Amino acid sequence: MEPDETLALFDHEMRLHARPDGPGTHVERVGEVVRQTGGPDDWNGVVWTAPGLSPARAESEITAQVAHYTARGVGEFEWKLYAHDGPAGLGALLAAAGFEPEPPETLLVAPVADQAGAVELPEGVRLLNVTDAAGVELMVRAHELAFGTDGSRLRHRTLARLAEAPPDTFVAVVAMAGDEPVSSARMEMHPGTGFAGLWGGGTATEWRGRGIYRALIAHRARIAAGLGHRFLQVDATDRSAPILRRLGFTALSTTTPYVYRTAP
């Protein structure tokens, strides 16, 4: 498929017809947006904006979503603004309403078949599939080492997914060097769509540049291929995007998370 065709398929399957990304969350189309609502530790936000939205209608939708999430006591929610979304100036309208833009990410996609090669790890490193609370703790530790951020929400979401997610919709894996977790990653699969989303890939500083990141992609791609998915999708930071491009991923758009914090 050409990039514009793949982007149109992504918008249709993963945004307009988005599925809940975890137990206790629900997705609905209201007015001119599609949004997900969950608890305070879940991801909450707008995933799709109707094409052809006028500035006046956009302002009305922004007001409605702020009221929706504030009424539910959600501490913060996100409006995922893609570069190809309209109307022009939507980012400025969100900022004027109190949303704060975070660093943009690149939407990258690759055919699953192109990435499902051999899983090659450095000597002494092995992959551990996360299936229980002990594995979650190892994954959270690896995440905190890689990104330097608190893993409390990741712990909550992963435990919930392991306990309640339907089969073949979620995979978490951690790379172990002996007894020490050094890298971790997740994959969310969406039955009925061609896409499997790669999330959270990160490696502790001293272990970077040894092929672990690539091995985690190949490991997840092999699983996605076995389940019949066609594409791997990543919202990549500036740090990971160059690596993914070298591996054969194609940039389709950019997405900027606009975050509204409903409480100080």
Indicate whether 76 and 115 sit together in one domain.
no
**Which tens digits make up the pLDDT trace of 50-71?**
998 999 999 999 999 999 999 9
Indicate whether 38 and 83 sit together in one domain.
yes
- Across 145-177, b (16+ Cβ under 10 Å) vs e yields bbbeeebeebbbbbebbbeebeeebbbbbbbbb
| DSSP assignment letter at 72 | T
Tokens 């991801």 belong to which residue?
A: 43
Total of domains in the chain: 2
* Owning domain of residue 229: 111-252
d(CA 198, CA 183): 14
Question: Is residue 19 pLDDT above 70, yes or no?
Answer: yes
Indicate whether 116 and 91 sit together in one domain.
no
Structure token pair of residue 201: 């890939």
Indicate whether 99 and 194 sit together in one domain.
no
Report the pLDDT value the prediction gives residue 4, as an integer from 0 to 100. 95
Query: How high does pLDDT run on average in the chain?
Result: 94
Report the pLDDT value the prediction gives residue 164, as an integer from 0 to 100. 85
Indicate whether 125 and 180 sit together in one domain.
yes
* CB atoms near residue 230 (< 10 Å): 17
**Which tens digits make up the pLDDT trace of 211-225?**
999 999 999 999 999
Query: Which of these, 57, 38, 36, lies nearest to 48 by C-alpha position?
Result: 36
Indicate whether 200 and 247 sit together in one domain.
yes
We report the CATH number of the domain holding residue 56 as 3.40.630
3-class SS of residue 27? strand
Question: Phi/psi at 63 (nearest 5 deg)?
Answer: -60, -40
pTM here? Answer: 0.91
Indicate whether 88 and 136 sit together in one domain.
no
Indicate whether 115 and 243 sit together in one domain.
yes
Q: What is the mean pLDDT of residues 178-183?
A: 96
We report the CATH number of the domain holding residue 229 as 3.40.630.30
Indicate whether 17 and 139 sit together in one domain.
no
d(CA 103, CA 123): 35
**Which tens digits make up the pLDDT trace of 100-121?**
999 999 999 999 999 999 999 9
Query: Which of these, 162, 175, 173, lies nearest to 210 by C-alpha position?
Result: 175
Query: Given pLDDT bands bounded at 50, 70 and 90, which one contains residue 264?
Result: low
Structure token pair of residue 226: 């076995």
Indicate whether 95 and 165 sit together in one domain.
no
Indicate whether 73 and 177 sit together in one domain.
no
